[in-house]
Amino acid sequence: MKITKWVMMAVFALMCATLAVGQDAGAEKKSTGTAVKDATKTAAKDTKKGAKTASKDTEVAAKKTAHATRTAAKNTEKGAKTAAKDTEKGAKTAEKHTEKATKTAGKDTEKAADKTGSAVKKGVKGVGHDVKKGTEKTADTLK
């Protein structure tokens, strides 16, 4: 694309040079053939220079693109490693918390069972005591 642009510019310069030489023909007394040769040489040099510049620009752009691609790949790899580490840490923490909660729930259940058993025993004793008192009162009444 750039080379075509440079070629078009060279052709335009050649045409301008031809017109300029034609207007100055009386002043310099160069032949038209010599002027055209000179213009052609200049155009060829300009085209060659433009092609080199375009080649260098393309090479620089390719290097920058390659560098950006490598940088993006490294950043993606670092991000993946960090995410994996964070996930692993989160899983370990969750495991510890779950284990602790399970132990606590087990202890609470055991305490509740002990209290319930104790309450049932007290209730049974109370009922038995009341029955005994009731029986004694009935016996006293009957005497």
With a cut of 80, say whether residue 138 has pLDDT above it.
no
Residue range 61-114, pLDDT digits in tens: 888 888 888 888 888 888 888 888 888 888 888 888 888 878 887 777 777 767
CA 115 to chain centre: 56
With a cut of 80, say whether residue 139 has pLDDT above it.
no
Task: Name the pTM for this structure.
Answer: 0.34
| Residue 98 to residue 86: CA distance in whole angstroms | 18
The model's confidence at residue 125, banded by pLDDT at 50, 70 and 90, is low
Question: Which structure tokens are listed for 23?
Answer: 């207007």
What residue segments make up the domains of the chain, in order of their start?
Answer: 2-112
Closest to 39 measured CA to CA, from 23, 7, 55, 16: 16
**Rounded CA Rg of the chain:** 51
Least confident of 96-100, 120-124, 133-137: 120-124
